Chain A
Amino acid sequence: EIVMTQSPATLSVSPGERATLSCRASQSVSSNLVWYQQKPGQAPRLLIYGASTRATGVPARFSGSGSGTEFTLTISSLQSEDFAVYYCQQYNDRPPWTFGQGTKVEIK
């Protein structure tokens, strides 16, 4: 099973600032990685798939990069609605698909 590790666990950021979230895989997942955003009491929302492709309707301030074992989600200028928990998930080759433990982005 591929283990996904996200860092940091919590990120304190002021509105308007840049946020950089990291996700590391225990072995290469190529570009088979997605990022989700989850707000309290809500279902996750797909943000990025294929490591760097924004899902439909996702603002351009969200960008994903990386391949292999190292991935990054960048939010260029945090808006109030972006404070949430972010998860990465790999879907490389064969299941099980696995998630990172999440990064909580909170208001500084």
Chain B
Amino acid sequence: EVQLVESGGGLVKPGRSLRLSCTTSGFTFGDFAMSWFRQAPGRGLEWVSFIRSKAYGETSEYAASVKGRFTLSRDDSKSIAYLQMNGLKTDDTAVYYCTRGYRRGDYWGQGILVTVSS
């Protein structure tokens, strides 16, 4: 069974950093790109970033709203994807979801809440 579990969220002050983890099981992690989406409270869905598999260079893409502040990485030996979030803003407050794939999310984690507030 494919499972994705996000962790590392919480309350953080503006300007600070946070690292989210997406721990996966049930599939060959190294064969897949991984993505992050987010959803601000009461709002719609927003694509954040994806990272390609090693076979495709482990390159990553970012939404304009997070580019230069967020970094997505992966550890294929542990089947974990990491989203390093620096320079957090109040607008980054959202539930963050990791998903398998890079065009669409065929499997989603349960989501983790990140609250940026002073």
Contacts and interface: CB of A to CB of B under 8 A. Distances in A.
Interface stretch (B17-25, B68-76, B85-93, B98-106): B98-106
B109 A49 contact: no
A101 B64 CA distance: 18
Contact of B45 (A55, A95, A96, A99): A99
A46 B108 CA distance: 9
Interface in A8-50: 32, 34, 36, 38, 43-46, 49
A43 B106 contact: no
Interface residues of A, number: 21
Contacts of B106: 46, 49, 55
Nearest to B37: A44
B44 interface: yes
B50 A95 contact: yes
Interface centre among A96, A98, A99, A100 (most CB of B within 10 A): A96
Contacts of B47: 89, 95-99
B103 A99 contact: no
B63 interface: yes
A45 B104 contact: no
